[in-house]
Amino acid sequence: MEITFRESPFTKVLTQPGLTKEPATAEFNQYEIAFDVLPYPEVEKQIQKSDYRLEMTVSKKPALSGGVLVVFDVVGESYSVFITNKETISEVFAVQRGESQATIPSGRLVKGAVPYNKPWSWHVDPEDIQMAEITIELCDGTPSHVEADLDYWVNTVQRFCPWRARITKIDDFR
């Protein structure tokens, strides 16, 4: 697909991962593209190659404000947390400057995908997160561990505190 954005042409390849219940998504700059290729045959006619239609929705990603977006790497897996807790924001910058040993993010898990934490179907509460020097082992893991057993993590463990998390990026939206 060719997209013209601010008078400049861009090529964006959209790939649908086979038959799915939900539309596939792709990102372009500040926009999210949701698309689905659907059969569209005439009544009582066998579906031909030309009998498909593309349904597409383009929406602007909601702007984040009043906090910082922190990307963590946990042994090769990334996850992102939007933090609005002022004390934790200060702690994150102290870790980045090498002034704090509180390198373990410990936050309350919430079911539900958010645009900034793809591909995960969960996120961390922006207010209920702290940086810690030590936490209990129960909440240590990787983003894929949380995803694989989400009900257990949200309902039983309740917090995610990966011991090997490292800050890789901070975007300030204050």
Q: What pLDDT score was predicted for residue 42?
A: 66
Say if pTM beats, i.e. exceeds, 0.85.
Answer: no
Q: What pLDDT score was predicted for residue 117?
A: 96
pLDDT in tens, 74-128: 999 999 999 999 999 999 999 999 999 999 999 999 999 998 999 999 999 999 9
Whether residue 172 is predicted with pLDDT greater than 80 in this model: the reply is yes
pLDDT band for 17, please (50, 70, 90 cuts). low
Taking CB atoms within 8 Å and a gap of at least 24, the contacts of 132-140 are 132/102, 132/104, 132/105, 132/106, 132/161, 133/101, 133/102, 133/103, 133/104, 134/104, 135/104, 135/106, 135/159, 135/161, 135/163, 136/161, 139/106
Please tell me the distance from the alpha carbon of residue 126 to that of residue 109, in angstroms, as a whole number.
Answer: 10
Mean pLDDT, range 145-164, rounded to an integer: 98
Structure tokens at 124: 């961390």
**Domain residues of the chain, as ranges?**
2-60, 68-172
- Least confident residue range of 34-43, 136-145, 158-167: 34-43
Q: What pLDDT score was predicted for residue 11?
A: 73
Q: What pLDDT score was predicted for residue 66?
A: 94
Q: What pLDDT score was predicted for residue 34?
A: 78
Q: What pLDDT score was predicted for residue 61?
A: 65
pLDDT in tens, 20-69: 667 777 777 667 777 777 776 667 777 666 677 777 777 776 678 999 99
